Amino acid sequence: MDLDPEGLFRDDSDSESEFYREKDSTKEFVVYLVDASPKMFGAARSDEDEKPETHFHAAINCISQSLMAQIIGRSYDEVAVCFFNTKEKKNLQDLNGVYVFNVMDRECLDRPTARLIKELSYVEDTFMSNIGSRYGIVSGSRENSLYNALWVAQALLRKGSAKSVSKRILLFTNEDDPFGSITGATKTDMIRMTLQRAKDTQDLGISIELLPLSWPDEEFNVSIFYAELLGLEGDDISQFLPSAGEILEDMTDQLRKRMFKKRKVKTIRFSIANDICIEVNTYALIRPTSPGQIMWLDSVTNLPLKTERSFICADTGALVQEPHTYFHPYKNEIIKFSMDELSKIKNISDGQLHLLGFKPLDCLKDYHNLRPSTFIFPTDEEIVGSTRIFIALHRSMLRFQRFALAFYGSLYHPQLVALVAQDEITSSSGQVEPPGMHMIYLPYSDDIRHVEELHMAVDANAPRATDDQIKKASALSRRIDLKDFSVCQFANPALQRHYGILQALALGEDEMPEIKDETLPDEEGLSRPGIVRALQEFKISVYGENHDQEEANTAAAKGSGSEASRKRKAMAETAARESASYDWADLAENGKLKDLTVVELKYYLTAHNLPVTGKKEALISRILTHLGK
């Protein structure tokens, strides 16, 4: 009997021979092909208050953002930026109308760098004078710039095997009919040659992706030429433009984050009974991201420093050569341990997963989950039959609605875990969730903290909400309900700020790029009349009609009762009045702040709630910083 007739649990390791198993790509080689014809420099969007934006500018912006994401996420990737339909030419094949921007007189690609991004940011200003733009496919000429561009891109991607390297060509253009200016046999012949060149490129394992740039009043018609080049048929043609638009949007507004090459953590043994042991792979579904460790550099050579640690005898001052020992005080005695003895004492787990038994799913509570679960999936790589046993366990747990309780942990951190079976979830587009088990880390009895009773007195009345307060709170919660909520909507603002600062330093930017903080409340949404009304009604139901006036009276009483606060308020008013009589911007511009006294300088600082401590030079520096000088 076949326990897995649908092949749900068939892993890559189940193939007949590892020589036929394709490995995951670890690197990515990308060539950005940008159309530089005069049509790309026409105004694609023109606002009265903004400078007209061209499709060429949009393509360069997309590439720059993509390079920034690659530097942070996958710094080992290699790229090339190539323009076609240009007056000048620069490529090893010496083909007309193709200009390779960042690769010099060699075939190798470059890794994305801050220098490349800076050069790209200025390329539009000097493009016409240094490189030039022209139509590469014109009537009366056999010149085919698109064919030449594909040839050059294929040559740039020649290095590396397609099995270990992902190779892509990203084509930016707003011309949906590149051969529209010619007719007859010449047009037919040039189209055939270009399509054959694209097919040869794809046969080498290089994918060609089109990123069309549409005009506001005219949609890019992919069916004229590029559908055949990309191999699109039927419904794929109608779905192409929306998907390509999403790719362009993602490239323009990419999240700064590191990319992990694989989610697999390690392979472990799962001991089910005394004589039954299987093998499973563990996968990290959620992995916390941190900015990374600080690297110390030599101040002269700028090379990384290596740290060394030595132990010096406290009595003689000599270096200790013998292995040091550890001790632990016990009953006024010093008990010494060697490293081997400490390892044996702490080692209470063999690193395997040991099944203890099964319990109903309702015994597992949400608050038992200490940290993100680990997903486990069977593998037959070393223990043949692991998948069959795993499937039998998986299906029986789903049928009886039970979870498996097991003991697992590292050598120094053993834990109880719950194995919860997950059935496969599919949709019309394919698999949504794979079948397998989630390993949920459970607390020990030592970890559980009981809630303390706040009202210990017998006659104390615990506060209770009235029906009206519950009704108003329900109305408020319905008003500010988050539609289609997902944690994927929120990026870590501290991490994004960290990468933004690195970007500004690397590119020599004067200002840090604007970081959108999705964790901040939606002030505009909360100010809608319906929400304001629901919030006010809830406050009235809890605090009463005159709660605002009572709070104001209380604050006023506290303010009037403090002598120190009255003095501070009087000093601030005096400083503001005196500060208004000076033209601080003019004084700073002409370097006359040093002619003022310390008291006069403190007028400005006090009026703007700035620190007034320090010498005169520090006060002047603080004022200049506040004025932006």
Would you call 23 a catalytic residue per the annotation?
Answer: yes
Q: Measure Cα distances from 506 to 71, 108, 114, 264, 510 in Å.
A: 11, 24, 6, 33, 11
What amino acid occupies position 70? Q
**Number of residues in the chain:** 629
Nearest residue to 579 via CA among 591, 589, 571, 569: 571
Amino acid at 414: P
* Torsion sign over Cα 45, 47, 50, 52: positive
Q: Side chain identity at 42, as an amino acid letter?
A: G
- Given a contact cutoff of 8 angstroms between Cβ atoms, the answer to whether 51 and 125 are in contact is no
CB-based contacts of 69, cutoff 8 Å, min separation 6: 254, 255, 256, 257
CA distance linking residue 255 with residue 473, whole number of Å: 36
Return the SS3 of 402. Answer: strand
For the chain, how long is the longest CA-to-CA vector? 102
Strands 353-360 and 264-271 turn out to be: parallel
The answer to whether the beta carbons of residues 62 and 211 sit under 8 Å apart is yes
Residues 163, 22 contacting (CB under 8 angstroms): yes
Using alpha carbons, list the distances in angstroms from residue 614 to 617, 618, 625: 8, 6, 15
> d(Cα 423, Cα 437) in Å, to the nearest integer?
9
**CA angle centred on 79, ends 77 and 80, rounded to 5°:** 170
β-bridge mates for residue 406, sequence order: 355, 417
Compute φ and ψ for 558, nearest 5 degrees: -65, -40
DSSP bridge pairs for 520: none
Write the DSSP string, 516-543.
--TTS--HHHHTSHHHHHHHHHHHHHHH
Instruction: In the chain, count H helices and then E strands.
Output: 17, 18
Residues paired with residue 82 on neighbouring β-strands, in sequence order? 33, 100
Active-site choice (23, 163, 594, 629): 23
For residue 415, the cross-strand partners are 408
Q: What is the DSSP string of 204-259?
A: TTEEEEEEE--BTTB---TTTTHHHHHT--THHHHHHHHHHHHHHHHHHT----PP
For 265-326, what is the HEC assignment? EEEEEEECCCCCEEEEEEEECCCCCCCCCCCCECCCCCCECCCCCCCECCCCCCECCCCCCE
Residue 616 contacts by C-beta under 8 Å, 6 or more apart in sequence?
594, 598, 601
Comparing CA positions, the residue from 112, 118, 84, 88 lying closest to residue 98 is 84
**Cβ–Cβ under 8 Å, residues 211 and 243:** no
**SS3 for 40?**
helix
Residue type for position 397: M
Residue matched to tokens 């909520």: 485
Q: Are strands 165-173 and 206-212 parallel, antiparallel or unpaired?
A: parallel
Residues marked as catalytic: 23
